[in-house]
Structure 1
């Protein structure tokens, strides 16, 4: 795809009736935190920056963590910003820059 850094935003929505929804989301966030990639957690999604293949790997692992936490069904929304000639940065999208 590209050897430049991209951004990948992931939102995992566990479809469960138990009262441990946030524990399942936290399992996904923990994978991201331990992945070594730059990330920002927002109220609606987590945005990561890094190489395309690495971010795909982290996204898959985050989904697996939710399954391992006992979730049988989830919605996953992924958005990517990809450039072929330069890195995508977090700073360029910030309003307070």
Structure 2
């Protein structure tokens, strides 16, 4: 069972003021390719899984932004670490 939820909003500084959406799409692609469960929301994406693995994904997302030409990247991250297990569904089931 997953022990963490990590929500991330990634804000890359783009080359020459380019549109940021293609960069965000690429960051979400990094998450998708990782195989973890995730949900995309309007202002952030939430991942569910092992804390160490999720933090490695955050690093990979930032690295990918730099590979694409970003001079720097701001990552706003929220973490829920619960060693005995947690899921997105547990937190949102009463709203569905």
Aligned partners of 2:10 and 2:2: how far apart in 1?
Answer: 25
TM-score by length of 2: 0.87
Aligned Cα RMSD in Å? 1.7
Do the aligned residues in 1 keep the contact of 2:2 with 2:87 (CA within 8 Å)? no
Aligned residues: 94
Alignment-derived partner of residue 83 in structure 1 = 82
Which sections of structure 2, spanning at least 5 residues, go unmatched? none
Stretches (4+) displaced over 3 A: none
Higher helix share: 2
Quote how far apart the aligned CAs of 1:93 are. 2.0
Normalised to the residue count of structure 1, the TM-score between the two structures is: 0.86
- Partner residue in 1 for 2:38: 39
Structure 1, unmatched stretches of 5+, are none
Does residue 61 of structure 1 match 2:87?
no
Question: Which stretch of the first structure deviates more once superposed, 45-54 or 18-27?
Answer: 18-27
